Amino acid sequence: MSRLAAIDVLDGSRLGRLLQRIGYPIAGVAALLALWWLGGVYIAAQPDLFAFTRFAPSAALPAAWGLLVSGDLLNAATASLQRIGWGMLIALVIAVPAGVVVGLSEMLQRATAFPFQLLRMVSPLAWMPIAVMVFATWDGAIIFLITMAAVWPILFSTTFAVQRIDPLHAQVAHNLGAPFLGRLRRLILPAIAPDVLAGTRLALGVAWVVLVPAEYLGVTSGLGYAINDARDILAYDRLAALVLWIGVIGYLLDSIVVFFMRQVSWQPGN
């Protein structure tokens, strides 16, 4: 292969990688905006839906910028992120140790399979009346709902990861006299880290979806409260802008977890 041909191949591969990394996402966003714009055109053409015309990008995008520069978005997002942070932290503290213990014991796996699956299938929002009765503050109730949404994906991912550890590795560590804490730190936790983070990613997505209706409770801050307030005052451009920002913030949170997943991944090239 000549030098010019090699350069052409190299340039072509670089262009392909650039297209995959930037071009395709841009095309996806453009398609989404086009569908949004077409939806706005359709709504504007319907006399019965005239009140909802400010859902269109022409009104919602300026409102989204206004939320950002005014600081209203930061105030609402800060409250929501604090609740998500506490809920996810509590879920991790509960689910990871429980998943390790259950994964190491076949007896516990059999004993907990049905009750855990039963509780997992209950919608987190179904716990709302109980949360309101049990917790003294609205924030406590919301954090409980987020925890209930997040704990199960992490628990099951952790249990499954522990079960997948090669028994020979555990046996070798035991034969070499490694104490349980040593095996936990050097064998179990590194082995399950990718699966725990995968479960955390799934849990974060579920918790982020639960957050908005959970914040319809008696709080006066957060993204869910802001959406409810915008609906009550018929500020549909602001409501659409908040929905947009919720999606953007959720995507950024997911990207953070994906970054950590790549750090602990055993797959080459990640």
Q: Identify which has the larger pLDDT, 251 or 166.
A: 251
Q: Give the pTM.
A: 0.82
Q: State the pLDDT confidence band at 154, using cuts at 50, 70 and 90.
A: very high
- The mean pLDDT of the chain is 83
Look at 171 and 58; give whichever has higher pLDDT: 58
Least-confidence region, from 53-67, 108-122, 175-189: 175-189
* Residue range 135-148: mean pLDDT, rounded: 91
Q: Six-digit token pair at 175?
A: 């034969």
Q: Check whether 234 has a pLDDT greater than 50.
A: yes
- Position 217 scores a pLDDT of 77
**pLDDT beyond 60 at 267:** no
Q: How far is CA 262 from CA 76, 85, 174, 251, in A?
A: 30, 21, 30, 16
Q: What is the DSSP string of 28-90?
A: HHHHHHHHHHHHHHHHHT-GGGGGGGGGSHHHHHHHHHHHHHHSHHHHHHHHHHHHHHHHHHH
Residue type at 255 in one-letter notation: S
Model pLDDT, residue 270: 46
Distance separating alpha carbons of residues 193 and 260, to the nearest angstrom: 10
pLDDT of res. 170: 61
pLDDT at 75: 92
Residues 66-83: what's their mean pLDDT?
92
